[in-house]
Homo-oligomer: A and B are copies of this chain.
Amino acid sequence: MSNRVEPRTLAGFMELLPNEQILFNQMKETIEKTYQRYGFLPLDTPIIELSEVLLAKAGGETEKQIYRFEKGDTDLSLRFDLTVPLAKYVAKNYGNLSFPFRRYQIGKVYRGERAQKGRYREFYQCDIDIIGDGELDIINDAELPSVIYTLFKELGFDDFTIKINNRKLLNGLFESLSQNIESIEILRIIDKIEKIGKDAVISELEKLGLNNEDINKIIKFIEIDGTTDEKLEKIENLEIENETYKNGLNEIKEVIKYVRIFGIPEQNFRLDLTIARGLDYYTGTVYETFLNNYRELGSVCSGGRYENLAEYYTDKKLPGVGISIGLTRLFYKLNELNIIKAEKKSVSEILIVPMMENLQKPIEIANTLRSAGINTEIYLNNKKLKAKMKYADKLQIPYVMVIGEDEISSNIFKIKNMETGEEKTITSEELKNANNIFNENILKFTGKA
């Protein structure tokens, strides 16, 4: 064959080696199991949608990033998040769903961002949302931090903080200003305070046309400090009287109260008045989650409350609250920083290495182990022992059973623990209940501080 093509993968598309893939899948499964633990229903929508449907709402920056193309006469786009497909799904299947509709979706989404290290154009989002029919109690906004808490504990992390705020507080504050400025514009600027600092925020607010008194009011608000309870007291005493602010105050008090009832320890959540998520469509509660020892990762799980999920598709009012984890980027960062280690190189718990021509008995034993629920591989190729053991070594399969004529005639088999070198003998009858001799070989995440 001439004219070979160089085998390569597109920049911005993650493609892992087997050991990394095993670890990635473990994280994905932990997320999925935790979502199910809270009763969220699975959903799997197409990756391709009609552009007219997918882009009903989009515009600006988002639209530029879309993978959009024609097939025949049809204008198609790849999904860029899992929320728009959810909105379409709920509007389309409204009559067949039970509300509150609690769904999770874990799947790939596509954004043609400028390629750079750690930025992906194809990446997994792991979302949950709770959608109400007409209304949705504020207590749901406290259940999601509980899911986040359980999830990051399951992933092996202890030192993380779920930051909680309510956009109505900020919007109420802006309403109380002497000037009438688009609150979204102010939010965009405030949202950057961690990145650009206070002085730059003040100067940007000035450019927006705000006077000093209003700017002081904003800065004073977002600089409110203390414990969560101290902050609640301070914002209550600010004497901002408009409805928006009062609603925000009531909501955040309820959310904080129930977050405690849900059992989230004080050190794992915090009221943070600077969190705005200005570019998103949230209208009430907002969340961001930080791993405190790895602040450079940014928020690893964000979300919030929105007033109306599917207004572009239906006149039904469908308020909701949701969170999302960008798993591909999170995995990349955790792996790069050695916070997680892709140590497991095989899904097999045991490798059977036959040393004779007649494979009858080794295959029988493999079948027995598999029936007992043990992931079992049998080396089927006619190689020297050395080559076979090299394979076991490279894949670091935890147990190896070498079977020769001696083992067959004595009906006593040796299982070797490849890490400790320890050997256990066992008869082929005993193998039927072999589960108990295998240690759980699940890789521990090492996310602890």
* A46 in complex: contacting residue of B4, B15, B137, B351, CB < 8 Å: B15
Query: Are A102 and B377 CB-contacts (below 8 A) given A47-B108, A50-B8?
Result: yes
Q: Which of A284-292, A335-343, A358-366 contacts B (4 or more CB under 8 A)?
A: A358-366
User: Cβ of A5 and Cβ of B52 under 8 Å apart?
Assistant: yes
User: Cβ of A359 and Cβ of B137 under 8 Å apart?
Assistant: no
CB-CB contacts of A137-165 with B at 8 A, as 1s and 0s?
10110010010001000000000000000
Interface residue ranges of A322-373 to B (CB < 8 Å): 346-348, 351, 359-360, 363-364, 367, 370, 373
Tell me, in angstroms, the Cα distance from A377 to B381 when the chains sit together.
50
- With a cutoff of 8 Å between Cβ atoms, the chain B residues found around residue A122 in the complex are 46-48
Cβ of A117 under 8 Å from chain B: no
Query: How many of chain A's residues have a CB under 8 angstroms from any CB in B?
Result: 101
Cβ of A306 under 8 Å from chain B: no
User: Cβ of A38 and Cβ of B377 under 8 Å apart?
Assistant: yes
Interface residue ranges of A2-38 to B (CB < 8 Å): 4-10, 13-18, 21-22, 24-25, 36-38
Interface residues of A (CB under 8 A from B): 1, 4-10, 13-18, 21-22, 24-25, 36-50, 52-53, 56, 67, 69-72, 74, 76, 87-89, 91-93, 96-100, 102-103, 108, 110, 112, 122, 132, 135-137, 139-140, 143, 146, 150, 258, 261-263, 310-315, 346-348, 351, 359-360, 363-364, 367, 370, 373-378, 380-382, 391, 394-395
10 other contacts beyond A18-B43, A47-B122, with CB at 8 A cut-off? Answer: A4-B313, A8-B50, A10-B49, A10-B50, A14-B46, A25-B44, A41-B347, A67-B69, A72-B112, A136-B381
